[in-house]
Structure 1
Amino acid sequence: MTDTQITVRPVRPDDEARWCELFRAYREFYRLEPSDAVVDRVWGWMHDPALPCGSLVAELGGQIVGIANHRDFLRPSAGTIGIWLDDLFTDPEMRGKGIGRALIEALQAKAAAEGKSLVRWITAEDNHQAQALYDTLATRTSWVTYDAVPRAN
């Protein structure tokens, strides 16, 4: 690759093969069970105009090297809408080239252009490499996250 310019743009239907490859790698990184059904479902969400989600892709040298899946979320306590960054992944061979930073900065610009109140995300407590980047782009919060399994009353 001779082109060192990172470009970020919304995902397109013709990006499917590479997007799916990177999303599978993201899921593997977080030790999630492999599932083509999940990958296919999420790909469909990215192109469903009825859903408030999308994906940005980062290109370097004409190749997609990173993805940022995101969605709008309501913030009742603030009376605003933010952008939630669900999944950020850079091709492991391309790390350290500013791709993650470019994707997050593009989401910040999207939030500003759309009048959103913030961009928010979480990461694994032991993902120190990512946190080193995140600490330069955002303020770490003091909130602790919980997950509850759905159950009938």
Structure 2
Amino acid sequence: MYSAYAQFYEVLQTSEMRATVWTWLTDPAHEVKGLVADNDGTLVGFAHYRAFARPLAAASGLFLDDLFVAEAARGSGAADDLIDAIKVRAAEQGHSVVRWITAADNARARGLYDKVAQSTQWVTYDLTG
């Protein structure tokens, strides 16, 4: 399923990269955590998230790095369930916000996101080596 997620965003990903992420997810001390959505025991989606500091707000938040639902399960409520579970974890851990980014052309996901969260004025930049 993670491979399908990478293909959705047209990101080249190797089995070694997926193994690295799996190592993170199975290490309780690592910052990246994961959730899954299932339908009668069949995996239909996942989310990866991590805590982050918000110095200007003197608070912390949860960053939703990845959210993916298999094409056949889109519209089933799996994405809503994953976002709700992240929201619960944020509240339990005392975080002030759950934040994420998505592609501007990801219309289907943005339809959900616009219902459950508020878009912001911020523009994202990447600085690479």
TM-score interval (norm. to shorter): over 0.9
* Pair member with larger Rg: 1
- Counterpart amino acid of residue 35 in structure 1: T
Matches within 5 A, 1:4-153: 22-150=1-129
Unaligned runs of 5+ residues in structure 1 are 1-21
TM-score normalised by the chain length of structure 2: 0.96
TM-score by length of 1: 0.82
- Supply the AA of the counterpart residue of 1:118: V
Question: Which consecutive residues of structure 2, in runs of 5 or more, have no partner in the other structure?
Answer: none
Aligned-partner SS, 1:77: helix
The CA distance in 2 between the partners of 1:57 and 1:64, in whole Å, is: 7
Aligned-partner residue type, residue 100 of structure 2? W
Report the Cα distance in structure 1 between the residues aligned to 2:29 and 2:91, rounded to whole angstroms. Answer: 22
Q: What's the CA shift for 1:61?
A: 1.2
- Report the alpha carbon displacement of residue 50 of structure 1 after superposing the two structures with TM: 2.5
Matched pairs, number: 129
Aligned equivalents of 2:35, 2:113: Cα separation in 1: 18
Partner of 1:19: none
Query: Could you tell me how far 1:104 is from its partner in structure 2?
Result: 0.4
Considering Cα pairs closer than 8 Å and 6+ residues apart, tell me whether 1 or 2 has the greater RCO: 1
Percent identity over the alignment is 44
The CA RMSD measured in Å over matched residues stands at: 0.8
Deviations 1:81-125 (A, max 9, x none): 111000100011111111111100110011011111111000000
Q: In structure 2, what is the Cα distance between the partners aligned to 1:116 and 1:28?
A: 31
Structure 1 residue 59, shift from structure 2 partner: 1.1
- How far 1:126 moved relative to its partner? 0.4
